[in-house]
Amino acid sequence: MSHPHPELPLPPELPADGLRIVALGGLGEVGRNMAVLEHRGRLLIIDCGVLFPEDHQPGVDLILPDFEYIADRMDDVEAIVLTHGHEDHIGAVPYLLRLRRDIPIYGSQLTLAFIEAKLKEHRIKPVTHVVAEGDSVQLGEFGCEFVAVNHSIPDALAVAVTTAAGTVLHTGDFKMDQLPLDGRVTDLRAFARLGEKGVDLFMVDSTNAEVPGFVTNEAEIGPVLDNVFAQAEKRIVVASFSSHVHRVQQVLNAAHAHGRKVAFVGRSMVRNMGIAAELGYLDVPPGVLIELKQATNLPDDQVVYMSTGSQGEPMAALSRMANGDHKVNVGHGDTVILASSLIPGNENSVFRVINGLTRLGARVVHSGNAKVHVSGHASAGELLYCYNILRPKNVMPVHGEVRHLVANAALAVKTGVPADRVVLAEDGVVVDLVDGKASVVGAVPCGYVFVDGSSVGEVTESELKDRRTLGEEGFVSVFAVVDTATGKVLAGPQLLARGMAEDDAVFSEIQPDVVQALEDAIAGGATDTYQLQQIMRRVIGRWVNRRLRRRPMIVPVVVEA
């Protein structure tokens, strides 16, 4: 297996008959999935999603793929192909379209409906083309055939991309549920047909590669939800991804069976389920759906709130309920169901919400204590089936953290794929398919692009470090007025601390040392205010570290009289 190296050089020029694959996100992380395929000077983009921030990225709203690699080649882009409608696959499309608004977008009906609604909020009217399983389209140098795959959202597609350099099969996110709620199974017959023709590179979902066996069927969740509903005494709150149409369908069915009404909570939940119902992907039993304000007038045992926030997102409805900061006041006797799996990195946020809801007296049902969710990603047993059906010439695990990619690579080798034909890459690593062999040839810069309010890409890692310091260590400002002619400190130093347990009076101890350091520096010929500010910073920093065992952010200001 070929591993990326941290010091990979920039890639060489792509051979005329070669196909280049560069992941700008989704390799080494769960989210911001985006792959760029290049052949004969033209580009095809598969997915363009976002990554949600973790605790060590304060103030960040979203994390985008790094478009720098293709920013000056937007005219070379033939199209964007979207495999399905989850945020980690479509969420960054509005930001990419800012670079060129008329890039054609191909996807299934539901996927395009979700992205069109999102783009409307960004005031962008896209050029969209609906495709379905079995369809084939020629996009410049790229022939694309779409294959039905099963996932935790309807209408997911894999895409087989055929070029003169060979055929790439990209699964998107998929699993092999044999009893899906919508009857739409992963089309293994199409996989087998593609395998017979020859798949030169198999780009395959790795998220569940460490999990042995097979994913439980979605159909098994319905009876569990039905049982929880039967036992619930008062209100029921169900939290799920705002695009998990199958899970919402099961909640609507259970509510109907137990004489309850359902109110959607959260802007994205209301929007997405409205779209799904309008297009026929969500079958709403008559009279079950009500407005949120109507729910407050019903008895507690007749209400279900279908909410966002299953990953503990701070501003989502469920987190605000747990904090007592939402119009839905969760209390004793209520039942809360977290109908989702934990995305790696969100554990602390989710457990914080569970603890908050439990403290309020609610019974919290989650995947750790009941079968209320199944994954949307193929486990190891399903992946083995795919490798044996396809017999790909080369394999490139995608979508997952490094451990998931490595586990997926090991499965490929077990089924007979030669180890030197399994490519392990991370974001920015360049993989070329030339003469039937895929190999790492270099890397391109590929960092995180942070969205913070209305700013995109302006927040840097250095600024995030400053935010963490402010949050964890506090802040000290120090002000002094000096006369460089006489070498005296005329006023100050005045110190003000924030976010520190100690009273400002404790700093009187260091003031004489700061004055002495400034006067010594001026006597030594230092007259530049920046230089004097750094002297103040060093003196105070050493003292605070030694005396208070802290490393706060120190902002010194020196004014010359």
Answer for the pair 283, 249: CB distance below 8 angstroms, yes or no.
Answer: yes
Look up residue 548 and give its two tokens. Answer: 């208070």
* Cα pseudo-dihedral 404, 408, 413, 416, rounded to 10: 180
Q: Using CA atoms, how far apart are residues 429 and 6, in angstroms rounded to an integer?
A: 10
5 a known binding residue? Answer: no
- Find the distance separating the first CA and the last CA of the chain, reported in whole Å: 67
Token digits of residue 41: 């000077």
Burial of 209 (0-12, 13-18, 19+ CB in 10 A): buried
Cβ atoms of 152 and 217 closer than 8 Å = no
Angle between helices 267-278 and 109-121 (to 10 degrees): 140
Residue 278: phi and psi, rounded to 5, are -60, -35
Residue with tokens 């022939």: 143
Whether residue 376 is annotated as binding a ligand: the answer is yes
Q: How far apart are CA 132 and CA 110, in angstroms?
A: 10
366 in a labelled binding site: no
Rounded Cα gap, residues 51 and 120, in angstroms: 21
319 annotated to a ligand binding site: no
* Amino acid of residue 95: Y
Would you say 374 is a known binding-site residue? yes
What is the Cα–Cα distance from 169 to 172, expressed in whole angstroms? 9
Per the annotation, binding residues are 373-377
Per the annotation, binding residues for substrate are 373-377
